[in-house]
Structure 1
Amino acid sequence: MPVSLPIARLWGSMDTSFDRIAIGVSGLCLVHCLTTTILLTIISSAGGLLSPVIHEVGLTLAIGFGILALGRGIFMHGYMMPAVVGSFGLGIMAGALSLPHGEFEIFWTLVGVSLVALGHDLNRRATY
Structure 2
Amino acid sequence: MASIAPWIRGRLDRIGITLSALCLLHCVVGLALVAGLGLGSTFLFHPDIHRWGLLLATIIAAVAIGVGAVRHRRAKPFVVAMTGLSFMGGALAVGHGFEEALLTVIGVTLVAAGHILNLRRA
Same fold (TM over 0.5): yes
- Structure 1: runs of 5+ lacking an equivalent: 1-6
Q: Aligned-pair RMSD on alpha carbons?
A: 1.5
Compared with structure 1, are the counterparts of its residues 11 and 80 closer, same or farther at alpha carbon in structure 2 (3 Å cutoff)?
farther
1:126 matched residue in structure 2: 121
Give, as a single letter, the amino acid of the residue that structure 1 aligns with 2:120. R
TM-score (norm 2): 0.92
2:76 corresponds to 1:81:
yes
2:47 matched residue in structure 1: 52
Q: Which residue of 92, 95, 98 maps to 2:93? A: 98
2:18 matched residue in structure 1: 24
TM-score (norm 1): 0.88
Identity within the alignment, %: 39
Compared with structure 1, are the counterparts of its residues 42 and 92 closer, same or farther at alpha carbon in structure 2 (3 Å cutoff)?
same
**8 Å CA contact retained: 1:77, 1:126:** yes
Q: How many residue pairs end up in the alignment?
A: 121
Compared with structure 1, are the counterparts of its residues 11 and 72 closer, same or farther at alpha carbon in structure 2 (3 Å cutoff)?
farther
Larger Rg: 1
Q: 2: CA distance between counterparts of 1:74 and 1:60?
A: 20
- Structure 2: runs of 5+ lacking an equivalent: none
**8 Å CA contact retained: 1:86, 1:119:** yes
